[in-house]
Amino acid sequence: MRSQNEFSYGGDASIKRPELGKDVSDKDWDNFVYNRKSLRGKHWELWQHVSGCRQWIKVERDTSTHEIFNTLKANEEISL
């Protein structure tokens, strides 16, 4: 168990950057940069252990109760 103070938030982890070397529409960029579902309930998000090992992790957290259900390493895919 680590203190919340050690972690920094990195936003929605389900957002994927448009692939390099392909035509990307303005709408795709818009969705990647700005648009977010931001739902109540289970939410996959990025956190960095900034005052510790400095690794990024993916966390599945409930946005209304803060309960944590799952964690993954940053390079692991979320299986929904």
CA distance 19 to 24: 8
- 71 near 57, Cβ under 8 Å? yes
DSSP conformation letters of 37-60:
---SSEEEEEEE-TTTT--EEEEE
Contact between 45 and other proteins per CB under 8 A: yes
Q: Of the ranges 16-24, 28-36, 68-76, which one interacts with other proteins (CB under 8 A)?
A: 28-36
1 lies in the binding site for other proteins (CB under 8 A): no
Q: Which stretch binds other proteins (CB under 8 A): 4-12, 16-24, 70-78?
A: 4-12
Residues interacting with other proteins, by CB under 8 A?
A: 3-5, 8-9, 11-12, 26-27, 30-31, 33-40, 43, 45, 63-66
